[in-house]
Amino acid sequence: MFDQLSDRLQKVMKFLRGEGKVTEKNMAEALKMIRLALLEADVNYKVVKDFEQKIKVKALNQDVLDSLTPAQQVIKIVRDELTEILGGSDKPLTFSSAPPSIFMLVGLQGSGKTTTCGKLAKWALGRGKNPLLVSFDMKRAAAQDQLRMIAGNLKLPFYEMTSSQMAAPEDALSELMKFTRNRGYDLLLVDTAGRLHVDEELMDELRLVKNILNPVEVIYVGDSMTGQDAVKSAQAFAEKIGLTSVILTKLDGDARGGAALSIVSVTGMPIKFVGVGEKFDKLDVFYPDRMASRILGLGDILTLIEKAEQEADQEEAEELARKIRKQEFTLEDFKKQLGHLKKMGSLSGVLSHLPGTGPFKNLDKV
């Protein structure tokens, strides 16, 4: 993810390190390179302009120019500003104090909304929640079948909406709420209708669902591969029905990253999760500071540790440590470790979390 942007920004930082002292002239050149890198990554022009101006003001501050390591200070400024446009800090999902918590997923057709519904259910299940999945799409009958199949694969409950219920949506949604409360489900995940583009009929349908269910989270699910189209759609959904958060899908296949770098500034809504693969466990909590560090080649050790903890067995790890100390480590043990590493994702994905694995390998810590 962000491969193209990351490569270009790392070249900018390498250029500044090579200059040694930061001046107005080389800073202007660096800012030009940053601007082109962001625009080529399909970042919103207004976001780029604001980003460039903030870096310029801070980088040419006298304290930075007089410091012993001005280039390092500029790198820190760029990282901090990247963190800000990505959202500043991670924002956890809101759960209701009086269950059930209702999450309503909205977005255009083909954005990965239904699959994300299953991913979110699996994530919640791992945190002690008892989720119920439901699809409310008054036009596309196949939407029911798709989510039912996903729920079956995850061995999670699915609430069936019949065509007769869809004909009286107010009554159907009221029945859904009664069913959820009576069965003790503390999380209701509602997959809603999508279209190929934003239209008023879709918005009317979504407003109806929102007004009756009163969800604690209205989550826009956007395809990061579509770049600024995803941002414009998110803005339309925010204006017409109101959003609380964003989930970006297919970020593992997006080498540019324009949607992620624009959507928070344009909509004012935080990115809370990103989809990084097709499997149901490939939904990551979004940390703006960690992502900014990865873009600049500074690594993301915390996320790597968390991934390792998810896949590691504590007792097995302790036994492995004992074998290494006793010099009893075998090829079979090595094979097991490779299996654990494979579960964490591709080798390139694991290495991308490490600092200095690209052209920035000799960069000192900021």
Average pLDDT score over residue span 82-107: 90
Q: Tell me: the pLDDT tens digits for 285-301?
A: 998 988 888 777 765 55
Question: Cα 343 to chain center, whole Å?
Answer: 20
Whether residue 342 has pLDDT greater than 80: no
- pLDDT of residue 199 exceeding 60, the answer is yes
pLDDT band at residue 358 using 50, 70 and 90 as cut-offs: very low
Rounded Cα distance between 366 and 101, Å, is 41
State pLDDT tens for residues 209-268. Answer: 999 999 999 999 999 888 888 889 999 999 999 999 999 998 877 656 788 888 998 899
> What ranges make up the beta strands (E) of the chain?
101-106, 131-136, 158-159, 187-192, 217-223, 245-249, 271-275, 283-285
pLDDT band at 276 (very low <50, low <70, confident <90, very high): confident
Tell me: pLDDT of 366 over 70.
no
Model pLDDT, residue 187: 94
- Segment among 213-227, 296-310, 350-364 with least mean pLDDT: 350-364
pLDDT of amino acid 230: 86
CA-CA distances (angstroms) from residue 37 to 10, 179, 247, 308? Answer: 10, 51, 24, 33
Q: Specify the pLDDT at position 359.
A: 41
Helix axes 24-40, 70-85, angle to 10 degrees: 30
CA-closest candidate to residue 79, choices 269, 255, 288: 288
Question: Are 27 and 13 contacting, i.e. CB atoms less than 8 angstroms apart?
Answer: no
Backbone CA torsion sign across 2, 246, 276, 206: negative
Average pLDDT, the chain: 82
DSSP state of 223: E
Assigned CATH topology for domain 3-85: Four Helix Bundle (Hemerythrin (Met), subunit A) (1.20.120)
CA neighbor of 1 nearest in space, from 303, 252, 314, 285: 252
pLDDT digits (tens, 9 = 90+) for 159-177: 988 777 777 888 888 899 9
CATH architecture of 101-289: 3-Layer(aba) Sandwich (3.40)
Segments of the chain assigned to CATH 3.40.50.300: 101-289
- Interatomic CA distance for residues 51 and 82, integer angstroms: 8
Average pLDDT of span 332-356: 68
Tokens of 38: 């962001």
Contacts of 342 by beta carbon, 8 Å cutoff, 6+ apart:
none
pLDDT for res 149: 94
CB atoms within 10 A of CB 189: 29
pLDDT over 70, % of the chain = 84
Tokens 């990253």: give the residue.
257
Indicate whether 195 pLDDT > 90: no
Q: Which part of the chain is CATH 1.20.120.140?
A: 3-85
pLDDT above 70: residue 365: no
